[in-house]
């Protein structure tokens, strides 16, 4: 038995509803173009009747439009400081990059969208930035950081030997803000809306202590963030661990932590306490700083209080709830071998 014919062009029977070869090519081209992903600002317009969908593939600049030397020239221009070219701009964006590239003869003419695609392919982001603290990676830095990392690596084993590792940090000057109008709650298709204007009711200094091997915290509200008020709270901090053989206390190099009066008080009243100070510009080694970030996100962000005492009561209740719901040991993967490899790699560059 032969293959059934359509009867029109002597071709095998097809499920496509075209009648002629010419029409079949036109329909196939239309279907194939519709199957490609649409992109660009005209996507919404292509849905209208009579409009042709865009066939531009997202995320890649046309290689035929600009030769590799021109593309490299734009990438080098994006890596230059505008001040070095006699400009007063502090950073680049795609529009001035396109203008300057044409002015300097890198390309005859180029659009800002094409510049964006070229930078995307090169993984260059001149519009983004972040703060960076430059540590002094000398022998003293390595020694102090290694001592702290040793405590983190052995916190669980030290707890079995009745030694505890504590991290202490403060969040000073938390503003007590009250919104001038009530917050409008979330509704269907509407997010929560908060009044922009606020009333100030002073500030609160919040100090936290983190027990490393359990992840639990304890908080205190201080009248002032100084050595005198810190020494007044230290007996209560250490009383929770009075049965420990030794206490490893980690904090940053703040003035209230390294004051002579504080060190003299510890030698006299708490000789079993070993204090470890994070190196300069390396407060990220203090796990209590990470704890405060998580605590702030859950218990202080988007909050409003009508008085300073109301915020103090909120903080006192919040750290207890945090222990019940969220407390867990921080997964710390930064070890002493990684520290030494990192220092060996970046010390020549930073120095």
Task: Estimate the crossing angle of helix 336-350 against helix 139-153, to 10 degrees.
Answer: 160
Query: H or E element: which one contains 251?
Result: strand 246-251
The predicted structure's pLDDT at residue 64: 53
User: H-type helices in the chain, by residue range?
Assistant: 21-35, 68-79, 94-103, 112-121, 139-153, 155-160, 227-239, 255-258, 260-269, 287-299, 308-325, 336-350
For residue 252, the tally of other CB atoms under 10 A from its CB is 21
Contact 171, 296 (CB under 8 A): yes
pLDDT at position 351, please?
56
pLDDT of amino acid 30: 41
How high is the pLDDT of residue 40?
45
Residue ranges of the chain with per-residue pLDDT less than 50: 1-48, 50, 52-63
- Specify whether the CB–CB gap between 148 and 278 falls below 8 A: yes
Q: How close are the terminal C-alpha atoms of the chain, in Å?
A: 85
Strand-by-strand arrangement of the 246-251 sheet: 217-222, 198-211, 163-179, 246-251, 273-277
The pTM score is 0.72
Write out pLDDT tens, residues 164-178. 999 999 999 999 999
Q: What is the DSSP annotation of 204-249?
A: EEEEEEEETTT--EEEEEESSSSHHHHHHHHHHHHHTTTT-SEEEE
Torsion, Cα 233 235 239 245, to 10 degrees, reads 130
Query: What pLDDT is stored for residue 237 in this prediction?
Result: 94
pLDDT at 14: 40
- Please tell me the predicted confidence (pLDDT) of residue 172: 95
Give how far Cα 8 sits from Cα of 2, 18, 297, Å: 16, 10, 71
DSSP per residue over 165-185, as a string?
A: EEEEEEEEEEEEEEESSPPBP
pLDDT at 200: 96
**What are the tens digits of pLDDT across the range 111-142?**
999 999 999 999 999 999 988 777 788 889 99
Tell the burial category of 163 from Cβ atoms under 10 Å away from its Cβ (0-12, 13-18, 19+): buried
Look up tokens 């001592």; give the residue: 147
The pLDDT of residue 283 is: 87
């Amino acid at each position: 038995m032969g293959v059934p014919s359509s009867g029109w062009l002597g071709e095998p029977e097809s499920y496509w509803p075209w009648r002629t070869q010419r029409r079949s090519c036109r329909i196939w081209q239309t279907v194939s173009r519709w199957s490609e992903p649409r992109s660009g600002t005209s996507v919404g317009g292509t849905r209208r009747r009579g409009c042709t969908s865009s066939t531009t593939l997202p995320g890649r600049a046309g290689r035929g439009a600009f030769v590799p030397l021109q593309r490299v020239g734009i990438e080098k221009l994006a890596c230059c400081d505008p001040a070095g070219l006699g400009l007063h701009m502090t950073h680049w964006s795609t529009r001035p990059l396109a203008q300057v590239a044409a002015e300097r003869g890198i390309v005859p003419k180029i659009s800002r969208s094409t510049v964006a695609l070229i930078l995307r392919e090169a993984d260059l982001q001149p519009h983004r930035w972040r703060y960076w603290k430059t540590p002094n990676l000398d022998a003293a830095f390595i020694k102090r950081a290694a001592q702290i990392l040793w405590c983190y690596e052995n916190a669980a084993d030290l707890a079995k030997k009745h030694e505890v590792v504590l991290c202490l940090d403060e969040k000073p000057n938390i503003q007590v803000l009250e919104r001038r109008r009530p917050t409008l709650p979330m509704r269907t298709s509407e997010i929560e809306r908060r009044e922009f204007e606020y009333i100030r009711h002073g500030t609160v200094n919040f100090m936290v202590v983190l027990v490393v091997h359990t992840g639990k915290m304890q908080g205190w509200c201080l009248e002032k963030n100084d050595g005198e008020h810190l020494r007044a709270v230290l007996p209560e901090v250490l009383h929770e661990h009075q049965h420990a053989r030794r206490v490893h206390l980690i904090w940053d190099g703040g003035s209230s932590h390294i004051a002579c009066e504080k060190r003299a008080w510890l030698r006299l009243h708490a000789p079993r306490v070993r204090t470890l100070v994070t190196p300069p510009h390396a407060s990220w080694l203090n796990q209590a700083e990470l704890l405060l970030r998580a605590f702030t996100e859950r218990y202080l962000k988007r909050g409003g209080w009508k008085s300073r005492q109301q915020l103090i009561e909120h903080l006192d209740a919040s750290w207890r709830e945090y222990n019940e719901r969220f407390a867990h040991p921080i997964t710390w993967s930064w070890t002493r071998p990684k520290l030494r490899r990192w220092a060996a790699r970046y010390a020549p560059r930073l120095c």
